[in-house]
Structure 1
């Protein structure tokens, strides 16, 4: 029998293992930027709403409808999918399945040629990818508890979030230089037939697939619950338990419940900013696809740096103050973009980048504010509900965007829909008190 390792050596090995798991976990976030930044925000949705696919307002409305359908599906299933996969001990399995569906949907976008006949195919693949990505995110976010503890969960979560921003910047830059900017890009790809965008979708799919792999080897699977019911029964039980949790919060931690609801609304407004920013830039201000990507890179850099800087300020003035002023200034910037639209592209550059300053701080402050509200001993449960409530209302921003475009007759009116969702979230946040209560 070999001698046991010295304590210092064992501790060093544990630290190395822990850091390896954190890096592997965060690489999924790095890779997922391919879907969030490239597919849903700045490249494919801009391409899909271009002239070859039909009239501007009609195509934008159909895009919003497709994302609305995806949001409704997520709202019906996401709140319990994490609970079911955890009970079965299949968290990594479902992360793998949904990641694979997202990657496949992204890769198949190469088939969407610039013609009206391919619009439906593009919308269906985009909706499937959105649903699968949201389901994958449920499992991915649940893994945070496996690699972090109360003393470092903020740093590790922030590191993963930062990796997502950075991954989006790097991939967008590569696509810009390799396919979008040059007349003849890498592998001889040109813009004829939309091949520069279509090939970029294949690259984005490969990017996600490669960087998603490490988490499946580094992070262990959780054990199954031997007392968990079967799938059909388990689905009903999961919904029943969800309602019980909400009822318990209403009785014992009402401020927490109020904040969960308010944050779900304004976080969906933030999602609307990411989803429709590229479309508004292209159709509302005439940005070329290359300019949209340059703006995306600048916005990601601004958002990442602002999140770090305002994170220090949050400790001095409070998380709620950061959220209130950040959301308010985002609404103001959105209204200025809408009102000053006739003055030209500089309006979107100026106020769009200003708006980007406040996106990350709202996300970061929202998480830390909730940590101060959670009743002792219920951190994991409430943070799980925090993740699912956001998805449960993920139809709000697409619905508001679609309605605004339909009523106004132009894509630029979609800004009003997104600003309305943010404003409602802000109004719901104002009465929430930053006090910790004890739960049952």
Structure 2
């Protein structure tokens, strides 16, 4: 995470040598390593929501086991998550601004994490009967909203953890921990709860108890690994005077402060258009190619089962292998990021993803699919992690939450693009594997938009 050559910040309020103003302040290397490790453990624990709840276990249970039929369940889950996406798009920027104003990224990360864990624990009460579908959808939607809010504060902490020259290494380490944490939890749940005829605590398939217990255990996993960052995570000084933050007490005052944050945000966007167009340019590019990245994972299992005849167990094995490779890629790419720059990792990764999507579209060979899937997995994580690093490097100190809130919003603004292009390519060409071409086209557009962007400095935060 840190090298012996890294400058060690002093114990006073000044930034570390070589750090951006308002950057990390630690009294020793040990304190800094502890902060980075505790930060990455939140990513490790958060995989309980992403991998277990959203992707592999609870969502399929909700659609296939709780809903009256899979078509109805899929449709209603889509509507629920669309509503959640709209809420995120509207509210996320102000959430980030509020954290920046008071310097309370750690507090808000803790608050949002508690809400997410509570939603996950609440899923224990969702039995396998249609009358429980609404409860499950509400818990999924609310959990998704607060997960995005939590990531705004979590990503905003990056610039407080280390100097700019190590952003890539730290970001890649956190992202890799998330993939590996998801892998470890999935394997544990498979061997203790999901696969055995009688699982841990005596659970069976009756009333969906097996999957409800998975949700409860995932909530505990997330809560436990979130604790370290809430104790040892980096603190940020408030951007505005304490008197301003003190006014935001009570419900009415809180609403007024929220609206005030949006007024400040609009002024911020106008300012960015005038003086930070590179950041806006990056928001546009990242929104497009990140949706292509999301589509890769969303439809990999669909293609594996539909076009290549994978069984359910083979799809799970594919998912486990993909998480392992993606985690390794994220960690290794962090070192490359710090040496060659975030943009280099992004561009090389996108080119590799586009090239590897083509054989999937035109070959029905299992060996070709496996090889391409592993290469795709290897580069997905690095592009995601280096995108976060790129933004951290070009963000003006004190604007971390605001910018990462906008990052979340712009990503949600085009979240329909990848699924639409996947379906459109299939409709146009008439076979399922053609969907890979639709995803490749989305990635290509994002690549073309990101190419002209001037790369940020690797030695310090470079204000556009």
Taking structure 1 as the reference length, what is the TM-score of the superposition?
Answer: 0.81
Match for residue 357 of structure 1? 378
For residue 237 of structure 1, give the secondary structure of its aligned residue in structure 2. Answer: helix
Match for residue 23 of structure 2? none
Match for residue 258 of structure 1? 281
| Counterparts in 2 of 1:59 and 1:79: CA distance versus 1, 3 Å | same
Q: Structure 1 stretch 251-260 or stretch 268-277: which is displaced more? A: 268-277
| Counterparts in 2 of 1:414 and 1:213: CA distance versus 1, 3 Å | farther
Over aligned residue pairs, what C-alpha RMSD do you find?
3.8
Match for residue 408 of structure 2? 390
> Partners of 1:397 and 1:20 in 2: how far apart?
35
The answer to whether structure 1 residue 45 and structure 2 residue 68 are counterparts is no
> Partners of 1:58 and 1:344 in 2: how far apart?
33
The 5-angstrom pairing of residues 151-162 of structure 1 reads 151-162=165-176
- Deviation, 1:189, is 2.6
| Counterparts in 2 of 1:410 and 1:179: CA distance versus 1, 3 Å | farther
Q: Structure 1 stretch 272-281 or stretch 115-124: which is displaced more? A: 272-281
> Partners of 1:367 and 1:14 in 2: how far apart?
26
- Deviation, 1:183, is 2.6
The partner residue of 1:92 within 99, 102, 106 is: 106
> Partners of 1:438 and 1:210 in 2: how far apart?
36
For residue 364 of structure 1, give the secondary structure of its aligned residue in structure 2. Answer: helix
Runs of 5+ in structure 1 lacking a partner?
1-9
The partner residue of 1:247 within 246, 270, 281 is: 270
Q: Structure 1 stretch 183-192 or stretch 28-37: which is displaced more? A: 183-192
> Partners of 1:370 and 1:76 in 2: how far apart?
20
Match for residue 143 of structure 2? 129
> Partners of 1:118 and 1:37 in 2: how far apart?
22
The partner residue of 1:72 within 82, 86, 91 is: 86
The answer to whether structure 1 residue 293 and structure 2 residue 308 are counterparts is no
For residue 211 of structure 1, give the secondary structure of its aligned residue in structure 2. Answer: helix
- Deviation, 1:20, is 2.4
- Deviation, 1:131, is 0.3
The 5-angstrom pairing of residues 14-413 of structure 1 reads 14-50=28-64, 53-219=67-233, 222=236, 225-228=241-244, 230=248, 231-275=254-298, 277-278=300-301, 290-311=313-334, 319-331=342-354, 333-334=356-357, 337=360, 343=364, 349-370=370-391, 374=394, 378-381=396-399, 384-386=402-404, 388-398=406-416, 400-401=418-419
- Residue deviations 1:219-245, cap 9 Å, x none? 365555324253333223322332333
May I ask how many residue pairs the two structures share in their alignment? 426
- Deviation, 1:154, is 3.4
> Partners of 1:193 and 1:286 in 2: how far apart?
30
> Partners of 2:122 and 2:137 in 1: how far apart?
12
